[in-house]
Structure 1
């Protein structure tokens, strides 16, 4: 009898569970079929929030601004009133400048030797981006006052924290601006480059003085090397740059004219000081898709400060690349130099003695 009683209780329990399920389903169907006003409001608000999330990128696009702490801009010389007279340099040869990243000291040796060979009378400034103690000593031996060479330490503690992450090269426009403040003109070259000849003739210098900038193009378009979100900071669109040929930021000649100071260097430095501008969420510099079609589509490989510079150049020069570029051979890449020179390890060992 007890066995039958337990079975009967289980059947009754299952019956009530089924009954409650049917009742809940019926109520739900009724609410959706004949909803109350409060229920309608709830559904309407939920739908509105979903739409807001759907169109969130458009809303963000409207509020992206190059807003930077004025203390940084003041320290970099952007807050004083400038005129054409006090920004234009009359120097015949700009200062040569570079920045040495940790682990890349040996690259800088090749560059310094090429300067000594082809431009021995030039003044060279080298920014130390955090070299080790031993590398500082070797740099001091190679760069000394006998050939107008000096070393400066870039103080990352005086800049936004993201600048110290060297992959984005946020430091490059900042270093260039510091040189322009002090000398009025700069030939910037990364340590991956070297002077292949004494090709800095007077016509090239004259072009740089007149335009404010001389650069060298590459085969890629600006749109293919730039994360789509970066364009929003400059109030422009990616499609405007489909056929804008990019220039390489690893070697440049820049004169501190009023126009260059206000229209090119200011927005470039501002972007470098804003982490989300120089390195938008999702941006990376690896994994490029070189087989994409059409070729002006984003390759998936962002070039950080170089991308920002090319956007600015397109806007400032109305996409006329020929205005500020040259085909004159002046620089070459380090890889070619290494094939015909002493190995870096042996060279560093010699400098240490």
Structure 2
């Protein structure tokens, strides 16, 4: 609102200046006119400075509790200003621990913070532990950072309300192609009935459904338009496995174990591996997003965009520090992930040259690609493969197709192939 008023004032000053020029006494010195010009320039400079400072402040501010919930720690030894919230968060945790030791009472906080304290400080009050167990038994969603034994490799997806049919066929497809691999499905808000249906197909030691709580994060995170929850899901999965293959639940695997092993070897070198598209990053990224990464949109004119439909990630310090942290900081900052004027439809790819902004923003995928470009100095060969391979690794199956296939199989329910998971 302040900015709007300031702009209106500046417009009024400019109009007044034009009037003075047009109707003022010709050839006579006009101190008032000079004063107005000086004031106008000064206000313009102050306005630009306020915008610059405001943008820097937004880039640096991120609530420490989000970093804690996502499992970041002080082991990230970088000089980037983003590490300040980590130090503040750790100091806050130490203060809470000291206060708890002095008063011998549980720390009061939201459910996620209670779970976090229970995990890190096992000596918590037994009443608090009992309360947490009771809440979990009532299908309370979790955001507590995982601290158990990691799997070597896991294939990960998520499911939202109305997408269960697609998630079921995703699990069946991978169980057929890669029967020895572990699967994780993140429940981001399905109904109890749909969860029971999904659990019937994913109820073994090799397939698990994790009910994850997004309510502890900013309210815009669960917006299906921005997909800001995807980096959160991937970061949590990287705390559970040393290497993950993240895919959307509409992706279906065409290759097998041999192709997977070749890709795993390659991703171990780079830490991240996806498939690029002919679209330039600058074409699908709102120009205001680049400011948050202190980069120039023109530098991304010829950088191919990596699709987030299927991407490999390795849990290394490099990936955590250089990829996941800046990506999540943008995803949890509304002005970064969803700049004013951004939209997800109305793409105009017929603009010349083709790398011009199409008017269609890719939100979390745009942020991911900017981070990759900055990290690898605009060399997409370091972290991606061409999407137009002779035999693609994946293919897509729409939700409508998945629903029809599942209904058809249910009508012919005598087949046991509907439940491919076993404990073997």
Q: State the match for 2:362 in structure 1.
A: 303
Kindly tell me: are residues 82 and 36 of structure 1, through their superposed partners in 2, closer, same or farther at Cα, counting changes over 3 Å? closer
State the match for 1:165 in structure 2: 223
Q: Secondary structure at 2:210's aligned position in 1?
A: strand
Greater mean deviation of Cα atoms: 48-57 or 260-269: 48-57
Match of 1:142 among 201, 208, 225: 201
Instruction: Tell me the SS of whatever aligns to 1:151.
Output: strand
How far did 1:269 drift? 1.1
Q: Could you tell me whether the CA contact under 8 Å between 2:277 and 2:305 is conserved in 1?
A: yes
Which residue is 2:346 aligned to? 287
Aligned equivalent of 1:343: 405
Deviation at 1:300, TM superposition (A): 0.6
What secondary structure, in the 3-state scheme, does the structure 2 residue paired with 1:235 have? coil
Distance 1:222 1:298 in 2: 9
CA distance in structure 2 between the partners assigned to 1:257 and 1:133 by the alignment: 36
- The Cα RMSD (Å) is 3.3
Distance (whole Å) between structure 2 residues aligned to residue 143 and residue 33 of structure 1: 86
Query: Where does structure 1 lack aligned partners over 5 or more consecutive residues?
Result: 1-24, 84-90
Matches of 2:29 and 2:164 in 1, distance apart?
Answer: 73
Per the TM alignment, residue 337 of structure 1 is displaced from its structure 2 partner at its CA by 10
Q: Summarize the alignment of residues 243-254 of structure 1 with structure 2, pairs less than 5 Å apart.
A: 243-254=302-313
Q: Decide which of 184, 188, 193 is 2:246's aligned counterpart.
A: 188
* 1:92–1:53 distance in 2 versus 1, CA, 3 Å: closer
Contact 1:290 1:299 in 2 (8 A): yes
Aligned to 2:59: 65
Displacement, 1:259?
0.9
Partner of 1:334: 397
- Residues 348 and 315 (structure 1 numbering): CA distance in 2 closer, same or farther, change over 3 Å? farther
- 1:161-199 superposed Cα distances (whole Å, 9 cap, x missing partner): 111212211110011000111222211001121112215
**Aligned-residue offset at 1:107:** 1.3
- Counterpart selection for 1:113 from 142, 148, 172: 172
- Is the partner of 1:168 in helix, strand or coil? coil
Q: Point out the more displaced range, 105-114 or 326-335.
A: 326-335
Alpha-carbon distance in 1 for matches of 2:328, 2:66: 10
* Preserved CA contact (<8 Å) 1:213 1:324: yes
Q: How far did 1:64 drift? A: 5.0
| Normalised TM-score (structure 2) | 0.67
Partner of 1:260 in structure 2? 319
CA separation in 1, counterparts of 2:49 and 2:35? 21
Equivalence for 2:153 = 94
Distance 2:351 2:23 in 1: 50
Relative to structure 1, is the Cα distance of residues 172 and 347 closer, same or farther in structure 2, using a 3 angstrom cutoff? farther
Deviates more, 1:285-294 or 1:56-65: 56-65
Corresponding residue of 1:132: 191
Find the aligned partners of 1:294 and 1:61 in 2 and give their Cα distance: 29
CA deviation map 1:206-235 (0-9, x unaligned): 111121111111110111010001101111
Distance 1:298 1:94 in 2: 37
Alpha carbons 1:93, 1:122 under 8 Å: kept: no
> Offset of 1:335 from its aligned partner?
4.0
From 291, 316, 330, the equivalent of 2:375 is: 316
Q: Is the 8 A contact 1:264 1:312 kept in 2?
A: yes
Counterparts of 2:412 and 2:293 in 1: how far apart (Å)?
Answer: 48
Residues 120-140 of structure 1: CA distance to partner in whole angstroms, max 9, x if unpaired? Answer: 111111111111222111111
Point out which structure has higher relative CO (alpha carbons under 8 A, 6+ apart): 1
Aligned to 1:76: 70
Q: Measure, in 2, the Cα distance between the counterparts of 1:268 and 1:345.
A: 39
Question: What are the within-5 Å matches in structure 2 for residues 213-224 of structure 1?
Answer: 213-224=272-283
Matched, 1:232 2:291: yes
Q: Does 1:212 align with 2:206?
A: no
CA offsets per residue over residues 222-255 of structure 1, 9 Å max, x none? 1101000110111101000000011101211110
Q: How many residues align?
A: 318
Contact 1:225 1:307 in 2 (8 A): yes
Change (3 A) 1:265 1:30: closer
- Match of 1:306, SS? helix
Equivalent-residue separation in structure 2 for 1:264 and 1:29 (angstroms) = 60
* Cα distance, 1:75 vs structure 2: 1.6
